[in-house]
């Protein structure tokens, strides 16, 4: 490989592993000459990452004898002569001049969606531990960002801490699904009766339009469309309630909705048409101003959905467990 040729980067590899590979190759090729001083800060800036994965990579290279410690803070490439504090560039590490291996550090808002998707797909398949450092490396963020995200998901009931203060998720069992739906079938109708009269007519019309479009499409719905329709019924329709305590309890009881998201990813959205027709009945009562009837229809929908969801959870048990990122570690129940 020539000194100007970029090294292929595996986007699924942990950030520290990518950095270690590139620095090692640069030393071997001579683009990082002997006695070059390496500091965490400049390398982190070049990679658009926090210092943590850089520190892990450089310590590993030092342990392997490819780097030496320098003045107690940095590292230096072994060799004869005086230390050289030359500015680092992408090409020195085998990176293209105009492309870095990752964009600027991401925030918890940008990784939350992906992480939540991983969690909901893992819940039906057992109990998992979450390794904070591995997760930080995977998403190229600091552990502070990871902890903030985990704390928010803990408030929603998606993740918890065990007796040793380790983050754990799952398993979501049929018994838990039944318990969640028992709560939802009582609380969501209450929230709906309080919320629906307060919602702008345009919002109701928009949600009704999305539902009708989906029903007219037949069975060819995307999982994103299905999730939006579920949010219309179980989040947006209830959001107008002035009872913040009720809404918080409703939100925390909706964990069982993840079964539908996982089921749709395996089976497709066709089996959800009956559920959407039940949504339509609720909306029809709302648009007529019959809010008590709408609440009753929602309660009946949730009772029917409870049975369907338990069956779907049983169906998922026959599928092979998906491959999850390395920050999720399978644990005994």
Mean pLDDT of the chain: 82
Neighbours of 44 (CB within 10 A): 19
The pair of structure tokens assigned to 266 is 């395996």
Domain assignment present for residue 98? The answer is no
- The alpha carbon dihedral of 19, 22, 26, 28 has a sign of positive
Condensed to tens digits (0 to 9), the pLDDT of residues 188-226 reads 999 999 999 999 999 999 999 999 998 887 666 777 788
Residues 134 and 118 in one domain: yes
pLDDT tens digits for range 264-286: 666 554 567 888 999 999 999 99
At 134-165, the pLDDT tens digits run 998 888 888 888 888 888 788 777 788 888 88
180 in the same domain as 308: yes
Local confidence band at 292 (pLDDT 50, 70, 90 cut-offs): very high
51: domain range?
15-93
Residue 251 and residue 287 in one domain? yes
Q: Are 89 and 55 in contact (CB under 8 A)?
A: no
279 and 287 Cβ atoms separated by less than 8 Å: no
- Same domain, residue pair 228 and 191: yes
Domain count, the chain: 3
Residues in a beta bridge with 127: 331
Q: How far apart are CA 54 and CA 93, in angstroms?
A: 13
Burial pattern 172-192, b for ≥16 Cβ within 10 A else e, equals beeeebeebbebbbebbbbbb
Ramachandran bin of 153, using left for φ above 0, alpha for ψ from -120 to 50, beta for the remaining angles: alpha
Does residue 293 belong to any structural domain of this protein? yes
Cβ distance 159 to 168 under 8 Å? Answer: yes
Q: Do 146 and 250 belong to one domain? A: no
249 shares its domain with 119: no
Q: Is 11:45 a contact under the CB 8 Å cutoff?
A: no
Q: What is the pLDDT of residues 47-87, one digit of tens each?
A: 777 677 788 889 889 889 999 987 766 899 998 888 888 78
pLDDT at 211: 94
Residue 162 tokens, joined: 């065990």
Structure tokens at 263: 């089921």
Q: Are residues 203 and 304 in the same domain?
A: yes
Overall average pLDDT of the 19-34 stretch: 90
* CATH number, position 211: 1.20.120.530
Specify the pLDDT at position 97.
59
Specify whether the CB–CB gap between 61 and 24 falls below 8 A: yes
Both 197 and 215 in one domain: the answer is: yes
């Amino acid at each position: 490989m020539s000194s100007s040729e970029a090294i292929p980067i595996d986007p699924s590899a942990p950030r520290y592993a990518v950095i270690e590979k590139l620095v090692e190759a640069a030393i071997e090729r001579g683009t990082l000459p002997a006695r070059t001083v390496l500091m965490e800060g400049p390398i982190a800036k070049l990679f658009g990452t926090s210092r943590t994965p850089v520190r892990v990579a450089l310590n590993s290279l030092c342990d392997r004898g490819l780097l030496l410690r320098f003045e107690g803070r940095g590292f230096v490439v072994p060799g004869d002569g005086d230390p050289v504090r030359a500015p680092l560039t992408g090409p020195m590490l085998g990176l293209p001049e105009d492309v870095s291996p990752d964009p600027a550090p991401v925030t918890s808002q940008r990784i939350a969606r992906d992480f939540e998707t991983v969690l909901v797909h893992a819940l039906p398949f057992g109990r998992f531990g979450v390794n904070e450092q591995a997760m930080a490396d995977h998403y190229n963020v600091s552990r502070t960002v990871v902890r903030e995200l985990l704390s928010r998901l803990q408030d929603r009931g998606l993740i918890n801490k065990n007796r040793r203060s380790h983050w754990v998720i799952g398993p979501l069992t049929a018994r838990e699904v039944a318990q969640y739906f028992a709560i939802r079938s009582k609380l969501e109708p209450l929230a709906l009766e309080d919320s629906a009269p307060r919602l702008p007519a345009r919002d109701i019309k928009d949600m009704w339009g999305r539902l009708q479009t989906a029903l007219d499409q037949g069975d060819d719905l995307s999982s994103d469309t299905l999730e939006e329709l579920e949010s219309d019924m179980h989040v947006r329709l209830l959001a107008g309630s002035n009872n913040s305590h009720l809404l918080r309890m409703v939100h925390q009881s909706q964990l069982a909705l993840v079964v539908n998201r996982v089921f749709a990813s395996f089976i497709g959205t066709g089996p959800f048409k009956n559920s959407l027709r039940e949504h339509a009945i609720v909306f029809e009562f709302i648009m007529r101003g019959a809010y008590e009837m709408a609440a009753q229809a929602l309660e009946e929908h949730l009772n029917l959905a409870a049975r369907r969801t338990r069956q779907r959870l049983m169906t998922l048990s026959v599928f092979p467990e998906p491959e999850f990122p390395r920050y999720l570690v399978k644990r005994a129940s």
